[in-house]
């Protein structure tokens, strides 16, 4: 019940902010063009803001420690390995973060290729040998090289825009029917009916749209595995994936897990998985499917 209340209040807040922006910008609310402008603004603003703050958010989310000066041989080796791979891929060396977690995991994030970070779990460093860690780092470096973080942001922004725009158009049409098409009824009707319909439609379209983001998330994992295989060798990447199969269930926050090498690959519906099953990834490497 609390989720429903929060959801409704969120939609009410969005509608109010829509109105304020329209007043400040002088855009007339009965225009499809104006609705598209506002939908795009809201659709991309959250995604872009998250991308710009992604490194700070990631470090806080996993309680990570930034490796500025290597304190031991392990950290020295990590710095050397990441610098070497960055040089091979012609990238600026990412920042390195180590975070406490029993599961074998790692992820990369950052607003663009040359302002990124790679985070490694303590469980990964404890349970993997150097060749396996090297392969995981190469996997994350491939994500950075391919610009996956930016691509995901753009996809999410387009999807958010679609959800906001279509939900409000349909809600306006339905509300007009309920109000017998009164002349003073416009696209930004603040009635309870409009708010409820918009909320329901956003929920439905949001679930459908998530299929697209989950597909891309799975797709990019195959290519990151292949990129790692090209950089350090297939045997190392396959060995790393086999070791990940022995890991504890990932405990990273939901805001981070989609970016992890060891993500959620189990779901009632396969289309909602953020990662392909490990066995499928291993088979793809054996068959050189994405190389």
From 132, 134, 140, 252, active-site residue: 140
CA-CA distances (angstroms) from residue 4 to 1, 95, 203, 287, 288? 5, 40, 11, 47, 47
| CA gap 264, 276 in Å, rounded | 8
CA–CA separation, 134 and 235 (whole Å): 12
b/e 89-115 (16+ beta carbons within 10 angstroms → b): eebeebbbbbbebebbbbbbbbbebee
Distance CA 81, CA 130 (A): 10
Q: Tokens 């990151």, residue?
A: 224
Q: Give the DSSP H or E segment for 107.
A: strand 106-112
User: Rounded to whole angstroms, how far apart are CA atoms 82 and 266?
Assistant: 31
Catalytic residue check, 202: no
C-alpha distances (whole Å) from 116 to each of 54, 93, 97, 110, 127 are: 9, 8, 11, 4, 25
- 3 state SS for 148-204: HHHHHHHHHHHHHHHHHHHHHHHHHHHHHHHCCCCCCCCCCCCCHHHHHHHHHHHHH
Active site (catalytic) residues? 140
């Amino acid at each position: 019940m609390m989720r429903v209340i929060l959801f409704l209040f969120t939609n009410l807040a969005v509608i109010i902010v829509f109105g304020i922006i329209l007043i400040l910008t002088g855009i007339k609310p009965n225009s499809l063009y104006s609705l598209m402008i506002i939908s795009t603004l809201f659709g991309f603003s959250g995604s872009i803001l998250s991308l710009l703050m992604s490194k700070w958010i990631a470090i806080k989310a996993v309680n990570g420690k930034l490796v500025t000066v290597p304190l031991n041989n392990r950290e020295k080796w990590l710095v050397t390995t990441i610098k070497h791979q960055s040089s091979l891929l012609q990238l600026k060396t990412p920042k390195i973060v180590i975070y406490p977690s029993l599961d074998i995991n790692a992820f990369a994030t950052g607003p663009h290729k040359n302002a990124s970070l790679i985070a490694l779990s303590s469980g990964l460093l404890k349970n993997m040998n150097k060749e396996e860690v090297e392969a995981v780092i190469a996997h994350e470096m491939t994500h950075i090289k391919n610009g996956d973080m930016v691509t995901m942001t753009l996809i999410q922004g387009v999807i958010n825009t679609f959800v906001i725009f279509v939900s409000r158009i349909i809600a306006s049409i339905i509300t007009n029917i309920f109000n017998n098409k009164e002349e003073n009824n416009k696209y930004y009707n603040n009635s309870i009916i409009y708010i409820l319909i918009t909320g329901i439609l956003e929920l439905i379209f949001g679930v459908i749209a998530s299929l697209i983001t989950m597909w891309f998330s799975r797709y990019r994992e195959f290519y990151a595995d292949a990129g790692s295989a090209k950089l350090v060798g297939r045997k190392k990447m396959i060995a790393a994936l086999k070791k990940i199969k022995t890991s504890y269930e990932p405990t990273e926050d939901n805001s981070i897990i989609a970016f992890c090498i060891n993500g959620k690959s189990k779901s009632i519906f396969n289309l909602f998985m953020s990662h392909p099953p490990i066995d499928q990834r291993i088979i793809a490497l054996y068959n050189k499917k994405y190389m």
